[in-house]
Amino acid sequence: MSYSAQNIRNICLLGHGGNGKTSLAESMLYLTGGTARLGKTTDGNTVCDYDPEETKRQISISMAVAPVEYNGCKINVLDTPGYFDFSGEVIEALQVADAAVLVCSAKGGMSVGAEKAWKLCDKRKLPRIVYISKTDEENSDYNAAFATLRERFGKNIAPVVAPIWDADKKVIGIIDVLHKRAFEAGPKGERVEIDVPADKLPVLDELYDALKESVAETSEEFMDKYFGGEDFTYAEMIQGLRQGVKDLSLFPVVCGSAVSGLGTRMLLDTIVELLPNPLEGQPLTAENADGDLSEFVAAPGALPAAFVFKTVSDQYGKYSYVKVLSGNLKPDMPIVNARTGATEKLGRLYVMTGKKADEVKELSCGDIGAVAKMDKLKTGDTLCDARKVVKVEAIPFPEPCYSVAITPKTKGQEDKIAAGLTRMNEEDLTFNWVNNAETHQMVVSGTGDMQMDVLVSKLKSRFGVESELSIPRVPYREKIRKKVEVQGRHKKQSGGHGQFGDVKIRFEPGESEELEFCEEVFGGAVPKNYFPAVEKGLRDAVQHGVLAGYPVVYLKATLFDGSYHPVDSSEMAFKTAAQVAYKAGMPDASPVLLEPIGELKVTIPDSYMGDVIGDLNKRRGRVMGMNPDGEGNQIVEAEVPMAEMGTYAIDLRSLTQSRGSFTFHFVRYEDATPQAQEKAIAEAKAMAEEAE
């Protein structure tokens, strides 16, 4: 069935891991007939957690779509992971959602995940509802969770529901404040109406009056009516609350239990009545053919355009998840990919429910679906009509901050790992990988250790290759601090022609990072035609320093004397002689190890400042300054040796309860401290022995 944009709601479920987002999506599907049974995350049979890794770990790893049909509306529920290593999935969902449901547990209230989700919604100016989950579980405390929300966000938090407790303070029913009715959950999760308990009537009146006050504040007309003592009609209440939600001056709160189904229909009513449809949502920014940026306003009657916000590849093929921004999409219609400029035929169209794909003949404006088997499409692409080509802004993925070296357990399977990572990178743009020619390692960079663990598991299950992770090697450099003059002589006699090359070279600290080669030979002691061979010999030699085998930088080498043999001298002999001189002279030139230093910017709440700076001192970091970011955080700027940053992503997370974030970029090389030098030389030695 095709829905008009006015009857579509695109919402993403956000919140901390374990707060019940996937169970809530399951409850919505089950109670509206979208599924025949209520799945559980512990049983591994929910619609949204269908990946083998998700069922194994009992957590969400990727975003899933669950379309819920309710009261003539289609609610596209985007279920997102709560663990921060998978934040890229949350950002994909936020790019196409028109509103959010923030899931907070009645056991914990405002967790770090909810705080972060709230900030992301603020950035996108996204209307939101707060759903307090697990209200019927042991040790749950709705009042404490609600009080935490009120403390953080003040009077903007508007309860549209009041819980009903039994003698043990367990929530057994809810009161719908707006409709002044009470309900409990039936045996199959259905909504059963009950009388409003007498002791709850004063509470109901108080909450209804508070909602009336909120409605009054949304327009002058309503304000006059309110102060004139007139009651609002139901339509006016809805209109005012919708406006407050859209203006971000009102955040309705509902509660319930996904397991029993209590409160789920109330949440669905609130989504349909109060949250914006795609035509009222926040417009995306798009670039036109001239490179000018403007807001892309959704319009059903306009030329077709769609945005690819996620890619999923499995053994059956590739699905590109799209949101239709304007017009309608139909299979086989010609579309232009704004990134490449190429025109392609649109593939088959599907509506996804978890991993289940139902083919449809059309996707209407504002709807979310998937296109199958279009191999050239990538996440972030805009599909347009040739008459109006626009390119929607890229999804703002976080910068990778955690790197590991990956090696196959069986030698020779490096290509298999590379192929697997390339395929998985199509789905997940929050990680990247490179073959580091200098350290001879394949290095994967992403958001954290849990993401890396999942990549290793998927390499094994999907691509049949077992791999191991380790801390990447640090690319040190070597330089000299003293001038030395040294002779290099290569003489070899065998039957026929021998080999003879003799050079005298002065090695000294240079100005350039590249080898600086000069010659001051007088009287033809070394013929000119051998100079390039001497230089080539040295250029090969500086790739390996004498301390720990790292490349040598800032070296000036001057060929000032030597001798040759008219018959036995050759380019090869002089190249070898230059390398003999290098090996003999470098140890006497006071070599030192240089270590890479990076610029670190850590964003943290004020309260963690002492712990973070103490930790930076342990890492030999130099704090360069602190600046407020305007959101209640401080940005600490420091310079830290790269060798000390291997586990920083994990350590910062535990230091700041996941509230801190950072960026780290290489800036320069500096002399290593004696302790750091000793450690690096010992590691290089151990590595060389291992290689043998």
How much is the pLDDT for 669?
94
pTM listed for this prediction: 0.88
pLDDT, tens digit (0-9, with 9 covering 90-100), for 474-487: 999 999 999 999 99
What's the whole-number average pLDDT of the chain? Answer: 90
**CB of 256 closer than 8 Å to CB of 262:** yes
pLDDT at 214 over 80: yes
Residue closest to 634 by CA, chosen among 666, 656, 618:
656
Residue type, 119: K
Query: How confident is the model at residue 294, as a pLDDT?
Result: 83
pLDDT digits (tens, 9 = 90+) for 615-632: 999 999 999 999 988 777
pLDDT value of position 598: 96
User: 137 is written with which tokens?
Assistant: 């579980």
**Predicted confidence (pLDDT) per residue in 384-435, tens digit:** 999 888 999 999 998 999 999 999 999 889 999 999 999 999 999 999 999 9
Cα–Cα distance measured from residue 354 to residue 29, given in angstroms and rounded to the nearest whole number? 11
Q: How does pLDDT run across 550-570, given as a tens digit for each residue?
A: 999 999 999 999 999 888 888
Give yes or no for residue 495 having a pLDDT over 90. Answer: no
Does the pLDDT of residue 273 top 90, yes or no? Answer: yes
- Residues shown for the chain: 692
- 351 vs 108: CA distance, rounded Å: 35
The residues, ordered by sequence, that sit 6+ positions from 233 with a Cβ below 8 Å of its Cβ are none
For residue 192, pLDDT beyond 90: no
Query: Whose structure tokens read 């600086």?
Result: 516
Do the beta carbons of residue 331 and residue 370 sit within 8 Å?
Answer: no
pLDDT, residue 315, reads: 65
- In whole angstroms, give the CA distance from residue 409 to residue 469: 10
Lookup result for tokens 């070899």: 492
Predicted local distance difference test score (pLDDT) of residue 364: 94
Higher-pLDDT residue of 11 and 290 is 11
Say yes or no to pLDDT of 574 above 70. Answer: yes
Read off the amino acid at residue 563. S
Q: How confident is the model at residue 281 (pLDDT cuts 50, 70, 90)?
A: confident
Residue 189: what pLDDT? 80
Q: Please report the sign of the dihedral spanned by the C-alpha atoms of residue 287, residue 309, residue 248, residue 364.
A: positive
Over range 435-447, report the average pLDDT: 90
Q: Of 166-175, 241-250, 378-387, 504-513, which gets the smallest average pLDDT?
A: 166-175
* Rounded distance between C-alpha atoms, residue 544 and residue 526, angstroms: 26
Other residues' Cβ atoms within 10 Å of the Cβ of residue 536: 16
Tokens of 553: 């930088």
The two three-digit tokens of residue 418, written as one number: 């590379």
Query: What pLDDT score was predicted for residue 289?
Result: 76
Mean pLDDT on 227-251: 90
Is the pLDDT confidence value at 493 over 80? no
Identify the pLDDT of residue 150: 85
Dump pLDDT digits (tens) for 313-353.
876 678 999 999 999 999 999 999 999 999 999 989 999 99
